[in-house]
Structure 1
Amino acid sequence: MTHDDAQVELEAVLNTIVDGVIIINDRGVMQLFNPACEKMFGYKPDEVIGKNVKTLMPDPYTTEHDGYIQNYLNTKTRKIIGIGREVRGRRQDGTTFPMHLSVGEAKIATRTIFVGIIHDLTRRQEESEKFENLQQKHFHLSRVSAMNEMGSAIAHELNQPMTATINYLEAGKVMLDQNNALDVEKLKSVMDRAVDQTKRASEIISRMRSFIRTGDLDKKPVELEICLKTAVELALMPFKTVGIKCTYDISRDIPEIYVNSIQIQQVVVNLVKNACEAMLESDTKELHISAKRHDDSAFVEIGVADSGQGIDQEQQEHLFTPFTSSKKDGMGIGLSISESIISNHGGRIWADINEPLGTRFCFTLPISTGDD
């Protein structure tokens, strides 16, 4: 095969390959720009060949690129060369897109060239975003469903402070209507109690709205004890007349954790609700909530233990399988959703036997600085 034949064959390969191929010299100047790159970046070859490859990069890659090449040529320390990684490219119109970049080195006579192979990740990112949006909608519907199931309990919980408020206000009205001298301090005390009850009702409503809201799904620093107790109190609303004793054991050495507090509360509400339902027929009704640093200390471990009838080995194997439930009217998706949420946070969830009675569900969450 002649040199010309080899050149024609190489061009045919480069013209048909679906990934972008760019060849640059040791100064970062582009020498080859295949058709796949034209589609990705929107440039014609004659618009970029002879220019620095930084043309195709947004900040901060623009300022870093030449330094990478010179560092490698001087020290042979690999930061990009021979290592694939995800970066962003900049199109001719200024927009950016995600891509996977692999860079290889080749020696031709006395010259060093670098060959970049580029795979456009735009579609993968779009599919990932669609999946995440659907998943978040699924999580939200699950929270709304949980609130619907607890509707009567919530109504009862709201009715108590509202009734008390009305009674206090009526008492105040009677005091104002009396002909004898008004006891201002007594009236003030009655009004203060009415305000306290109104605040209590407002807090319940605020808790409901926060639990079922959509919107901000970012992870933020959260004080774990407050997060847990808020969720537990919410989940216990329908079971206040059952006689469940709830205790806490939360270590004081747990720092703030970076989580989506709404989703973590969703997991806790589901586990506590399941635990309470498991104890309805039990003589002993004890719920224990714990939180401590996990064995490797990079995680915190949260536990929800009950004194119910427990679960057998077969149930334990399928606990987190969607649409598997031991409850007569259960759909069996609560634990599956909980597993997805914990997995998305970088943790894991499992169930153990709680000696001497019941089941203990545990899940871990990474202790993070928020920079990960």
Structure 2
Amino acid sequence: MLLTMANQMSCAIENAMTQSEISLMEQDHNRRVKQLSTLLELNKALLTTVHFERIVHMTLTAITMGDGLGFNRAMLFLVDEKNHALAGTMAVGPNNAEEAGEIWSALSQRKRDTSKLIAQIESSTENHSVLNFIVKGIQIAMEHEQCILSRTVLEGRPFNIRFPHDKEEWLQTRCERGCHLGSEVGCYVSEHLSRDPKIYAFATVPLWGKGKVIGVILVDNLYNRNPITEEDIGYLTMFSSQAGLAIENAMLYRNLEEVHQQLKEAQTFLVHQEKMAALGELSTSIAHEIRNPLVSIGGFARRLDRTLPADAPEKRYTRTIVKEVERVEKILSDILTYTHEEAMVLKELDLREVMEESLSMISEKLRSGGIEIAKEFSEKVPGVKGDYYQIKQAFFNLINNACESMDRKGKLSVRIHPLSKNGSSFVRVEVEDTGAGIDPEALHHIFNPFYTTKDNRLGLGLPIIHKIVTTHQGQIEVNNHPGRGATFILTLPAREEKQK
């Protein structure tokens, strides 16, 4: 009887163990099915767009999503082949533990299926987090072979850097040079990405494109401190393989768009040059045919005006003829100025002096019109190498346009300051008026030749300014405030100081 009972107990225990194993296998199977299903949904989402920023944001958000891969934070570093470096591209994750807690609490209260969460990823691409700002400022030279990020690219394999528990393990995980990620105090990356560089654990996986590594995805669980397992690494590697192809395709598409835009700009420039050449020949011929009789008309009209008594009724007719002749002469002069390439006489200019002379040319008009002038010039402004007469004409046209827009009343503000941008020095000139501003519909056409919204205007004032500024390797911008005025901003490169 005891033997029978023992056999029955043995069978029961064996069945229980088998059932337990089957249950574990079933749980593992269900987990794998869920993972594969999630990967399928994520990969399908990546195929919905070729926009680079959107794909990168979707990829990193999927990695940190609770129903996705579930890491606390995810960062992407892409290979910059030109500079042979790794450049921080984007990061997704909470800025601090409090923010992480709020996010997890909100997610626990609203359960959604994967497809709805994917849709939420697609609809939110704004990323103004502190982490994203920090990562975008990181650049690591690929020569640093001991850096974990560099090694991930060079060796094409993932790394899982766990918490160091003793000195021996610490020495095994530290980097000798490079970014020292996850190693000693003083490391730029680990000190900015972690709360305590000495206990910072993270994992990296290579981002594969077509036959080569194009970047690195770095993940961590900084806030919940969950260990990153080899299964997590495998899951992340599977996803990153598909994400890498999508990101590479988006990069190629972005490059094609940039090249296409450059070709369009080159084509537009060539068409513009051809038009200008044809217009130049035509304007020269017309100006020659018109100017000869115009000189005679103007000369005789001025002579007749001088011979007539001041109280003669015919005096107003001669003055009208002289005034109209001068207007036509100015039109011809503007056309020739815009259509012909004049040789520039370059010398070092102080734009403050040029502006003062331009203001003096129109000072009488300003005073009679009741226009207030406010000047703001920096004490130290670097010189600009340019053609004095062209720069003076550009300033005069800007001031004159500002006065006309204010209809004989308002405030004209002129500012000149030095500017440093991308390691180069510039001089910034601003001419601001308090007029009616520019019609938003006309804003995109104001630099086009012969476009005007004013009566008795040829529409060459701003195009001539634009031509002069671009000829001097500068830029012109406009800040438009309809109903309140407009500000034209000229940025000209400063003359480089010779080192003593």
TM bucket normalised to smaller: 0.3 to 0.5
Larger fraction in helix: 2
Decide which structure has the larger Cα Rg and report it.
2
